[in-house]
Structure 1
Amino acid sequence: MTEPIVDVATLEPGIVQVRMQDRANKNTFTEELIAGLTAAFAGIRERADCKVVILTGYDHYFSSGGTQAGLRDLFEGRYQFSDKDLYSLALNCPVPVVAAMGGHGIGGGFVLGMFADVIVLGRESVYTANFMKYGFTPGMGSTLILPNKLGFALAEEMMLTAATYRGEELQRRGVPFAVVPRDAVAGHALELARTLAEKPRVSLMTLKDHLVAPLRAELARHVGQELAMHAVTFHQREVRERIDTVFGQ
């Protein structure tokens, strides 16, 4: 039997795991993955038994971000990234979300995890906000969430250079969340989730709502600014050439 691209499972009372496992596409943002994640978080909103969500990937991949076809569609103006609001799923989830990012987080896939409330990275895995690798400016709320979670200096460097960083390097650079061996990420995330699940659900929801309120209030403005930058930067011939020749490298 074929496993679902997005699997939702109750690990323990109060703890729900959402696992992205599109091995064929390395958890890029295919229509199926986007639909699966959207449905998973919509279902969680209706579950009174859920206190915390663990968002994770499979093996060596958390998420690889946009597909090549999707980037070409953005270049052609067929849609905007905001048409598929994947980036705010964790932010708008009513209960805390732990991103167990043991695998690689690339581009929008890295940003997806940064919108979680608690983050765990793998020392051996690679992480990058590589939008500028293709010549267009960052999207998906990157310009809001990356400075907020990583600090302005590191976030600015990541976005401008589109460089790739191992988790151990980010740990040396002082990222303010756990970086552990890749094979320890799942266990570490589960222990964090257990600590959260000990608390009353209403209290967790109330505190999260208060803590992320500034991000929620600012997100639409930053997305609007990112879309305006895309209108300037995305439709250059060089961008299409880079999407065609550099993707996946």
Structure 2
Amino acid sequence: MTGAQRDWAGPRSARVYDYLLGGGHNFAVDREFADRMVAEMPWVAHSAVVNRAFVRRVVHFMLSAGVRQFLDLGCGIPGVDPVHLVARQAAPETRVVYVDHDELAVAHAELLLDGDERATVLRADAADPRAVLTAPEVRRMLDFTAPIGLLAIALLHYVPNERDPEGMLTGYANRLAVGSFLALSHATFDVSPEPVKQAQGWMVDSDPVHPRGRDRIEGFFTGFDLVAPGLVHPGQWRNPVRPGPGAVGEWSFAGVGRKSSSTEGTA
């Protein structure tokens, strides 16, 4: 069975996420999977919305700090509030490179971005920074002498320990200019372990999830200075409408860090 056939045969996280956000770039198998999961765990649908709202706030924050280019790792399908359109509401000159390994997600993205000279999508393994950073599309679109917004939203919990997620991020961080930012959100057992374990069980046959503790997630920001309010739940990050105790979104931690000193490294 080819990779494309496998993508058609079973649900994939990128398309399930698109469906949960109200997008139209998904298949019946994804919708059926999502509906069954939400019937058992109603919080899942709203958590997707909370996570996407976090992305919008992150993009506007980085724009306010002067960032005009973004590298969106594990982007999924950029169909609902995609980074390039969110950013261009304030800064039309913004350039964006989306990266994902899912063949059909990339195909959807190519259709959505057709004719856009300041946004492109690369099919690559985001856990392989050398492959991403040396890709012609990336070198053409992004200027690594200027600040870049590196987005790893709901990505690293799909990277198992044996793939060395810390080393992955270091590979990117070493190429970023001072003043660049890293934003990420990551599943955790720390706050609501039982619901997260339940969700993890649902994803085992699709895209296995590897939740991690707060200390480990905070360690992903090595080389970056966490900006206020630090590592919090996605719905709480610079959100004037704070969710109350036990609110949806407490399945993960999220944060943004700024690179304040140079590090050496080449792609």
The question of a shared fold, defined as TM-score above 0.5 by the shorter chain, is answered with no
TM-score, normalising length: structure 2: 0.28
Bigger proportion of residues as helix:
1
